Amino acid sequence: MVTRRFTALAMAALASIATPVMPVAWAQAPLAAQGCVGCHGPAGTGSPPMTPLAGRPKADIEAALIAFRKNERPNSIMGRIARGYTDAEITAVATFFAAQKPEGPRR
């Protein structure tokens, strides 16, 4: 009985520690944008050397993703990623990141 209580308490404690807290806006991001966090940071705020996406004009983000998808803009990974997006997903990603507040000066 004591072992079960201890196990339950330990699991609850670990779950509260292991659950990352993301900004509300990020939790509402389209699924296609979720993969961007690994390189571009939470909500696209970026950290060097990655380009921040937050607050960039929607048209600029869409144009960049389309150029990556067409191999018109060289990059080691973005071409492979962008080729997996539909036009609707590119629009959703661009809309989401354009609406985010950038942190610090824009690079």
CATH number assigned to the domain comprising residue 82 = 1.10.760.10
Greatest Cα pair distance, the chain, in angstroms, is 64
Does residue 7 belong to any structural domain of this protein?
Answer: no
The predicted pLDDT at position 12 comes to 47
Does residue 42 belong to any structural domain of this protein?
Answer: yes
Q: Domain count of the chain?
A: 1
Does residue 37 belong to any structural domain of this protein?
Answer: yes
Tokens of 99: 């609406």
Instruction: Report pLDDT digits (tens) over 52-89.
Output: 999 999 999 999 999 999 999 988 899 999 999 999 99
- Classified as helix, coil or strand, 105 is coil
The residue segments making up the domain with residue 82 are 23-98
Residues in the chain: 107
Instruction: Count CB-CB contacts under 10 A for residue 34.
Output: 14
Q: For residue 69, what is the enclosing H or E element?
A: helix 58-69
Instruction: Report pLDDT digits (tens) over 14-24.
Output: 444 443 444 54
